[in-house]
Structure 1
Amino acid sequence: MWKIVAISVVAALFLYINTIYADFAYDDSRAILKNQDLLPETPLANIWKDDFWGTPLRDSGSHKSYRPLVVLTFRLNYFFHQLSPGGYHLVNVVLHSIATGLYTATVGVLGRKLWVTLISGVLFAVHPIHTEAVAGVVGRADILCAIFFLLSILTFRKYCELVVGHTSRVRYGWIAATFTLVTASTLSKELGITVIGVCCVYYIICYCNLTIYDLLPVGRSTVKLRQHAETVLLLVLFGVVLLTTRLYFMGYSPPSFSPADNPAANSTSFLTRCLTFLYLPVFNFWLLVYPVTLSFDWSMDAIPLVESVWDYRVAVIVLFYSSLVLSVKYSLTNFLSSSEISRKPLISQEVRNGLNGYKKLCQSDGNHQTLTNGGVANGGTNNRNGIETVTFRRLRKDSSSSSESVGCDENFNEVETVGTPTYHRHYSTLVLGLSLLIIPFLPATNLPFYVGFVVAERILYIPSMGYCLLVAEAVYQIFKKLRHQKLYRVGLYTTLTLLCVLLSLRCYSRCLDWATEERLYTSGIAVNPAKAWGNLANVLNNRGEVDAAEQAYKSALSHRSNMADVHYNLGILLQGQSRYREALEAYDLAIQCRPRLTVAHLNKGIVLALMGKHSEAKQAYTDCSEIDISGLKDPRMHESAKVSAMYNLGRLYAEQKDYPAAISMYNLALEMRPNHYAPYSIYNLLGEAYFQSNDLEAAEKAYRKSLYHKADHAPAHLTMARLMSVKKNFREAERLYEKAIQINDKDAQSLHHYALYLAERNRHAEALVLWQKAVDLSPLDFDITFNLASALRHVGRNKEAIYRYETAAKLSPESATAHMNLGAMYHINANYSLALKSYSKALELDPHNQVTKNNLRKLQNIMNKAKR
């Protein structure tokens, strides 16, 4: 069997190893790139308090997905290689290979045929439905959950073997191990708790061989059921405790989702909800059967609602559930066809008690096989110890005997399990496969509660185990039917091989789709065009392809016009191009679609301020700061947006020289800010407001707090240095300026501010050196260029000064000062015609500038004398 496990593991590893070169994609951004719980400075205890996305679990906006073990593995990844995606993907591939090997081993250990084990394992390894779980880093939750899920089944099976004839300590040790693994599975993903249901089914039907008659409350059937009540009761009680604890951690409140996440759940029509929820399991099953059309997202209108009984999909629903009912009925009918076997245990209870768990020692002569316990027993007799032994004879269709001989299958050379008739093993395989297929999928059916998705391919990771087992059993039964028809069997071998090859090719191509976000979103356009175009536009915008991004945003909106995020992102793009009026329209549409989208209000205020509409900007900032964000997704983003609105409102007051109002708003921002919002920028601007209000002591305190929260915050060093200069503490001022430059010697503004300080101290030569460095770093900066020209003038390098003034005048044609100084340099260098032109331009821009008037008068006097 271990060779079969190795084949499955190698197949899984081979198919997915190329994903280690993939980028982060889709949900990985929020779960990893933006998740504060991965950072070393975040207390490890937060992992146990926050949801999967880093939001406090009891927050009204939490997704309520509690997966601390998965986040812990992300944190370990971050510890070793920060945000390099290769390591995250490698761990996923290794975990998937482990899960594949465990699944294959579990099928074999539970007594399935080698052929069933091989086919199940290989199908699971190559099935494309697993691509999202493996290639998407967030899919690690499903893989890790599956590993603990399978380990739970294996440890529970060990417990079952020890139910009879072993001490309570040994038995309870294994059940405790089972419960520990169930807990680990649930802490990896919520559906891990469903393994309790699978264990119950396995124990009652597959292990205890209880039949439908045993489960019915008639006659003596309840006696047999009571014998196994302890195990079932332990499982159920633990499930209740685990579920209650889970609900406690999430504050006994369900998550809230937007209508687009699950449109059917938000439908006002009961008929639409029922029909759609009945159709979705059919659709999921079809993805397992025919995994050709796959998508990163199935929300919104990707699967249209079933709103009428005349919808053709209603016929599909009826066909699917009818087939399911008929299949179950057929299986049960065949199982009950032999009443002698179905109503009686194969081994009496006395034998079960006396055999210490009935060790299976098989001795076969080709015609019959005898179960022994310390000696050879005669069929159907008692030995001298009073222990009954049973001889099993081959079960034939024309025989009424309930015994069976265990021999070799002439076609597959495999040995039947003692005491379990072929039809019963087949039945238990069907039950196990159906339980693995159905029970883990139940939370996604919207029956117990509404979920935040329509279809999610990674949710099928565990249910696919049941599907693969059922397919393998079906193939094996066909093999048996064709045991004497070699040609048909060769055809079946060929078909099965071709199926595995096709699934592998689809799996490989889907892995390539997940290699980059651009390929992933492009592949989803056919399924969910609105979501795919919107996400693709973000990728293009981040890459600097703004024209293509704008077109992609508009394509997304053409498919679904009420997507607030897309309107907002389009506004960001337009704002970056200084197309403020269009950006404002986009933000207004975003707010119209989602009135509580704080970032849209924030950026609307910023655009209005840039357009000079200060009163409207103030209102936008105020609206943003007053939004109730309870129940909203990503509360961190909304909290930060509200504080940023207060921050920007304070800046607007400061620009209008209303410093008391600015100080009040900055203090309110500091009071309202969440822990994850860094306060150093607010403290720096607060200090600036105090400085302008001539409250130097309060300004110094604010600056020092800014530096306390971020010691390498260069703007705080610059503002603090200017304060020290005003307080005549020149040595400290120069130390702070030099520290700012040391933090980032490529920052032109730090060089510029230090040069201004030196120029004020009449150290023009030193200032000149700094401005020359600054202009190299920022050649289009008017202030730097203008001051460089002034420094050149002070050191007597007039020709260079003229060149820099000319450049400054070109950079800011509306600057009267630049034209006046340029005129003065022409004037000094006796270039009177150009001086006159520059003075005239300066007076045109600033008619009341007395310095320009005086210089012009002197120039005219010189020119008049020259004419004489």
Structure 2
Amino acid sequence: MANPINGTIAKPKTFGTADVLITCIAVLTLFVYADVLKFDFVSYDDRLYVTDNKLIKSGLSWDNILWALTTFHDANWFPLTLISHMTDVELYGVKPGLHHVNNVFFHTANSLLLFLFFRRVLLNHWTSAFIAAAFALHPVHVESVAWVSERKDVMSSFFWILAMLSYLRYIRRPGAARYFMLTALFVLGLMTKPMPVTLPFVLLLLDYWPLGRIRGISPELRPDICEQRPLKALIIEKLPLFIISASSAVVTLIAQKSGGSVVSLQNLPFVFRLENSFISYVKYIFNTIFPSKLSILYLLPAQIPPMQAIAAAAIVILITAVVLWKAAQLPYLFTGWFWFIGTLVPVIGLVQVGSQALADRYNYMPSVGLFIIAAVGGAALLKGVRHAEVIAAAVTALLISFYIISTKRQLQHWSNSITLYKHAIEVTHDNKAAYYNLGLVYAELGRYDEAIQYYENAIRISPEYCDAIHNLGIALMNKGKHDEAATLFKRVIVINPLYDKSYVAYGNILLNQNRLDEAMGKYKKALEIKPELPSALNGVGVVMALTGDPDGALGMFDKALSIAPDYTEAANNKKGALALISKRSSK
């Protein structure tokens, strides 16, 4: 084709090394995760985010978007995640396979964007490709990709990596518009999940290496992209980002406290949290190197053996000391290690949310730091070695093959709730939450004998596990064993006098035994604890109807339905109350 400016013949663009690598990474990622098309939703959070969430299931609307922007859903603020689930429903309905596919597309995009980012800063196709391929295919990332509820993880990371690419554009040619783009992408990431809160810190690490922006500290690595500046100037440059990070952290803490998710220091002392943090760091490293026993649930132990905590702390401190000692000679160690350590800080457990000790999903972006060390460090070790390229290719092929096989195997455990919890039981020790959740799944399927078995295992591990005891009682009720169930509900009330659901369940047993006054007492006690509990309101209404007060009963049913419009039992009872009122009026 002739060049219109000078008449020369323009050479056609060839399919270069970078294009081949990008294609391979994309194809392998899609191949590895193709099975998610056949996967179901799982009971753990997918109901909260999609299948039992009326607003999400109603799809996109201005009212729903406003709700997403203003609500603390599940003790968090992540409106873009909620809107993305609404969009899925709008496009596909509640079909699990297609919801899963969107997670895979985000993960694939993240892997390719990581390749583009590191290729620009490292100027090495193969090192960048290893980082991206390890990120794409490592089994530790299966949880983030195969779990519909973790859309927030892959989606927030998408904006995170775009923000890093935007940062490269900004430092190459600083300007208000480019800084605004960086800031906007950062905010979008935080609106999807608070995890990118550490991005300003990561940018400072990148300033040290591989960008070499810090005058007097960094080696001058990339003068073609940027020039060196004092560390103070670089911190001031990121001050707006740090302010946004701090604001996001405050909002997240408020949301989690309002949802009752934050564990108090009285219930979990700081020393215990610190010990668990060191152990978790070591486990994250171990799971990245030897990803053999990955689980959806890693529960906090009742006690931590002192020597285990000391050993873990020694490992983390020793590695940190070596990294600091070698920072000038091996700057990639500094950036990689502190990327890993720093990006895990918000979820390492110093502020404990929930009952998990750690989670694979938390290692989604932090693992990039370890992949940097492996890729750049591996290349450095082979420098000058005979046949280095052949050795590097062989080791890379073996690792990638191992990741593909391991990820394919790990992925199958996510096909449905039963396989997920059974795997958690197999690879963890005395996992009461996995037993309990598996019991819930079997109970919903009407397989009460199996449900009872798993509830009993959960109670064996934790004798005061009120949720398991209560649901064991419900399962026994469904098998007609009312006296045994009543004993369990009374046991729950003794353990936790504020457990409102057991008052209602015990009240229902008393109601079936025609002990109306006692049943009313239990329902009223539940309402003292939770004034707008629909099941308790319904119970009070039934007793009122049976004792000759259909008008009062009607008010209770109406109130229950105003709180839970789909409450079928209350709706049927309301019809009965109206029939009683109509019959009375016709006399």
TM-score (norm 2): 0.86
Of the candidates 28, 51, 59, which is equivalent to residue 33 of structure 1?
Answer: 51
Partner of 1:6: 23
Q: In the alignment, is the contact (CA less than 8 A) between 1:571 and 1:586 conserved in 2? A: yes
How many angstroms apart in 2 are the aligned matches of 1:33 and 1:321? Answer: 45
**Aligned pair in 2 of structure 1 residues 605, 198: CA closer, same or farther (>3 Å)?**
same
Of the candidates 682, 690, 703, which is equivalent to residue 581 of structure 2?
Answer: 690
Judge which range, 266-275 or 528-537, deviates more. Answer: 266-275
Partner of 2:318: 322
Partner of 2:540: 649
**Aligned pair in 2 of structure 1 residues 327, 241: CA closer, same or farther (>3 Å)?**
closer
Of the candidates 168, 172, 178, which is equivalent to residue 182 of structure 2?
Answer: 178
> What letter corresponds to residue 484 of structure 2 in structure 1?
E
Q: What pairs up with 1:648-797 in 2 under 5 angstroms?
A: 648-656=539-547, 658-659=548-549, 662-668=550-556, 670-671=558-559, 675-678=563-566, 680-681=571-572, 683-694=574-585
Partner of 2:340: 437
1:250 shift after superposition:
7.4
Partner of 2:509: 607
How many angstroms apart in 2 are the aligned matches of 1:430 and 1:491? Answer: 22
How many angstroms apart in 2 are the aligned matches of 1:212 and 1:64? Answer: 44
Q: In the alignment, is the contact (CA less than 8 A) between 1:276 and 1:305 conserved in 2? A: no
2:580 equivalent to 1:563: no
> What letter corresponds to residue 479 of structure 1 in structure 2?
L
**Aligned pair in 2 of structure 1 residues 44, 578: CA closer, same or farther (>3 Å)?**
farther
1:451 shift after superposition:
2.7
**Aligned pair in 2 of structure 1 residues 233, 313: CA closer, same or farther (>3 Å)?**
closer
Per-residue deviation, residues 653-709 of structure 1 (Å, max 9, x unmatched): 2123x21xx423542564576555458556534423432442x6xxxxxxxxxxxxx
Of the candidates 147, 166, 175, which is equivalent to residue 158 of structure 2?
Answer: 147
Q: In the alignment, is the contact (CA less than 8 A) between 1:126 and 1:504 conserved in 2? A: yes
**Aligned pair in 2 of structure 1 residues 593, 34: CA closer, same or farther (>3 Å)?**
farther
How many angstroms apart in 1 are the aligned matches of 2:439 and 2:556? Answer: 36
RMSD over aligned CA atoms reads 3.0
Q: How many residues align?
A: 555
How many angstroms apart in 2 are the aligned matches of 1:628 and 1:307? Answer: 39
1:454 shift after superposition:
1.8
Partner of 1:306: 304
Per-residue deviation, residues 135-164 of structure 1 (Å, max 9, x unmatched): 11111111001110000000111010003x
**Aligned pair in 2 of structure 1 residues 213, 296: CA closer, same or farther (>3 Å)?**
closer
> What letter corresponds to residue 373 of structure 2 in structure 1?
L
1:227 shift after superposition:
9.1
> What letter corresponds to residue 558 of structure 1 in structure 2?
R
Q: What pairs up with 1:393-432 in 2 under 5 angstroms?
A: 427=331, 429-432=332-335
Q: What pairs up with 1:32-71 in 2 under 5 angstroms?
A: 32-40=50-58, 44-50=62-68, 56-57=71-72, 63-71=74-82
How many angstroms apart in 2 are the aligned matches of 1:227 and 1:548? Answer: 61
1:104 shift after superposition:
1.4
Partner of 2:134: 123
2:116 equivalent to 1:105: yes
Q: In the alignment, is the contact (CA less than 8 A) between 2:160 and 2:186 conserved in 1? A: yes
SS where residue 454 of structure 1 aligns? Answer: strand
1:466 shift after superposition:
1.8
**Aligned pair in 2 of structure 1 residues 105, 592: CA closer, same or farther (>3 Å)?**
farther
Partner of 2:15: none
Q: In the alignment, is the contact (CA less than 8 A) between 1:608 and 1:616 conserved in 2? A: yes
Q: In the alignment, is the contact (CA less than 8 A) between 2:41 and 2:148 conserved in 1? A: yes
Q: In the alignment, is the contact (CA less than 8 A) between 2:51 and 2:57 conserved in 1? A: no
How many angstroms apart in 1 are the aligned matches of 2:249 and 2:379? Answer: 41
**Aligned pair in 2 of structure 1 residues 435, 162: CA closer, same or farther (>3 Å)?**
farther
How many angstroms apart in 2 are the aligned matches of 1:553 and 1:115? Answer: 51
Q: Which has the larger radius of gyration?
A: 1
Q: What pairs up with 1:497-576 in 2 under 5 angstroms?
A: 497-526=397-426, 527=428, 528-576=430-478
Partner of 2:14: none
1:66 shift after superposition:
1.3
Listed as ranges, the gaps of 5+ residues in structure 2 are 1-17, 220-227
2:481 equivalent to 1:579: yes
How many angstroms apart in 2 are the aligned matches of 1:196 and 1:37? Answer: 34
How many angstroms apart in 2 are the aligned matches of 1:690 and 1:8? Answer: 70
1:586 shift after superposition:
2.3
SS where residue 331 of structure 1 aligns? Answer: coil
**Aligned pair in 2 of structure 1 residues 534, 157: CA closer, same or farther (>3 Å)?**
same
Partner of 1:480: 383
1:445 shift after superposition:
2.2
Q: In the alignment, is the contact (CA less than 8 A) between 1:2 and 1:105 conserved in 2? A: no
2:585 equivalent to 1:589: no
1:75 shift after superposition:
0.8
**Aligned pair in 2 of structure 1 residues 27, 123: CA closer, same or farther (>3 Å)?**
same
How many angstroms apart in 2 are the aligned matches of 1:574 and 1:461? Answer: 41
Per-residue deviation, residues 238-268 of structure 1 (Å, max 9, x unmatched): 431464367458757735556xx97x96556
> What letter corresponds to residue 582 of structure 2 in structure 1?
F
How many angstroms apart in 2 are the aligned matches of 1:463 and 1:512? Answer: 24
How many angstroms apart in 2 are the aligned matches of 1:323 and 1:41? Answer: 49
**Structure showing greater relative contact order (alpha-carbon pairs closer than 8 Å, 6 or more residues apart):** 2
Partner of 1:191: 195
Q: In the alignment, is the contact (CA less than 8 A) between 1:574 and 1:583 conserved in 2? A: yes
> What letter corresponds to residue 276 of structure 2 in structure 1?
T
Partner of 1:820: none
Listed as ranges, the gaps of 5+ residues in structure 1 are 164-170, 216-223, 335-425, 630-638, 697-725, 727-868
> What letter corresponds to residue 20 of structure 1 in structure 2?
L
Q: In the alignment, is the contact (CA less than 8 A) between 2:50 and 2:57 conserved in 1? A: no
How many angstroms apart in 2 are the aligned matches of 1:530 and 1:126? Answer: 30
How many angstroms apart in 2 are the aligned matches of 1:269 and 1:39? Answer: 40
How many angstroms apart in 2 are the aligned matches of 1:288 and 1:48? Answer: 39
TM-score (norm 1): 0.60
